[in-house]
């Protein structure tokens, strides 16, 4: 499957124009604002090696995608350390500390992020970051990316009753912005995140940063893009402009 086709462009345009008048845009963070999954993968792989996990065989990217990507740390801990949740939670906390050290030096914005940021600001839209990452990670990455003043709210899955793939974090994001699900869309890069946005009743633009496109499509995004420079995204946003979808936001 490829991310670009004329039929997909047509479908993507119609899936967003029904949101008029558009009020808000919600973003995941890891893999959505920045390509941070390789840093998470590296931290998990090296730290699991240190404790002899999987009989000392390094975890694969496939294992990372299936077990870790987009999931909440409580769920990851219970899978990696079944029967010893306390140890698992301590491990993931230590792993997050390692990730933050790596991220401080290596996190870069996803291609085209500044372009879509300016488009959102120019159209007067509300915006929130909605993530399963711990707050310390979320705030660090948002700061590094220069987006601390961009987001009106930062919603943490672990601070909700249920994290993604449940809809609770996205519903809390809508509540924080005083926005309607009928006039908001989501950017997400993981199966867990796409499922959460869809369950919250919003169209989700899936970003094929690292996760396999066939898996992302199973979570039922409105359409997939490679990054924020993808012509399919801008064709859909242009249709919103043509539909006069921003009359309430200027």
Q: Which has the higher per-residue pLDDT, 149 or 37?
A: 149
Asked if residue 26 lies in contact with residue 175, where contact means CB atoms within 8 angstroms, the answer is: no
**133-147 tens-digit pLDDT:** 999 999 999 999 999
Respond yes or no: is residue 230 known to be catalytic.
no
| Domain residue extents for the chain | 6-35+108-242, 37-106
Annotated catalytic residue: which of 28, 168, 189, 230? 28
20 — pLDDT class (breaks 50, 70, 90): confident
> How many CA atoms lie within 13 Å of 195's alpha carbon, on the beta-carbon side?
14
Number of residues that this document lists for the chain:
250
28 is catalytic: yes
For residue range 86-107, what is the model confidence (pLDDT) as tens digits?
999 999 999 999 999 999 989 9
Residue from 30, 75, 168, 230 carrying the catalytic annotation = 30
Asked if residue 204 has pLDDT above 90, the reply is: yes
Mean pLDDT for 126-131 is 98
Residue 2 — pLDDT band, cuts 50, 70, 90?
very low
List the single range of 6-10, 43-47, 140-144, 169-173 with lowest mean pLDDT.
Answer: 6-10
Identify the residue with better confidence: 13 or 83.
Answer: 83
pLDDT, average across residues 144-164: 96
Spatial neighbors of 211 by CB under 8 A, at least 6 apart, are: 31, 65, 69, 70, 189, 190, 191
The topology under which CATH files domain 6-35+108-242 is: Rossmann fold (3.40.50)
């Amino acid at each position: 499957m490829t991310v670009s086709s004329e039929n997909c462009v047509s479908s993507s345009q119609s899936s967003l124009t029904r949101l008029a008048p558009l009020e808000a845009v919600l973003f995941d963070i890891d893999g959505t604002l920045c390509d941070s999954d390789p840093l998470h993968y590296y931290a998990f792989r090296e730290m699991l090696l240190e404790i002899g996990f999987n009989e000392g065989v390094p975890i694969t990217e496939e294992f990372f995608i299936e077990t870790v990507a987009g999931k909440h740390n409580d769920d990851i801990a219970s899978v990696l350390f079944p029967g010893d949740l306390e140890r698992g939670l301590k491990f993931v906390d230590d792993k997050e500390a390692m990730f933050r050290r790596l991220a401080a030096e290596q996190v870069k914005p996803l291609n085209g992020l500044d372009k879509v940021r300016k488009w959102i600001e120019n159209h007067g839209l509300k915006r929130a970051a909605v993530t399963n990452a711990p707050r310390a990670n979320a705030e660090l990455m948002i700061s590094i990316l220069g987006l601390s003043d961009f987001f009106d709210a930062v919603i943490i899955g672990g601070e909700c009753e249920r994290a993604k793939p449940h809809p609770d974090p996205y519903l809390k994001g809508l509540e924080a912005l005083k926005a309607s699900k009928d006039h908001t869309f989501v950017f997400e890069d993981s199966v867990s995140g796409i499922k959460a946005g869809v369950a919250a009743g919003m169209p989700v633009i899936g970003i094929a940063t690292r996760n396999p496109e066939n898996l992302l499509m199973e979570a039922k995004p409105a359409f997939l893009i490679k990054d924020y420079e993808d012509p399919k995204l801008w064709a859909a946003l242009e249709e919103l402009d043509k539909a006069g979808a921003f009359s309430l936001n200027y």
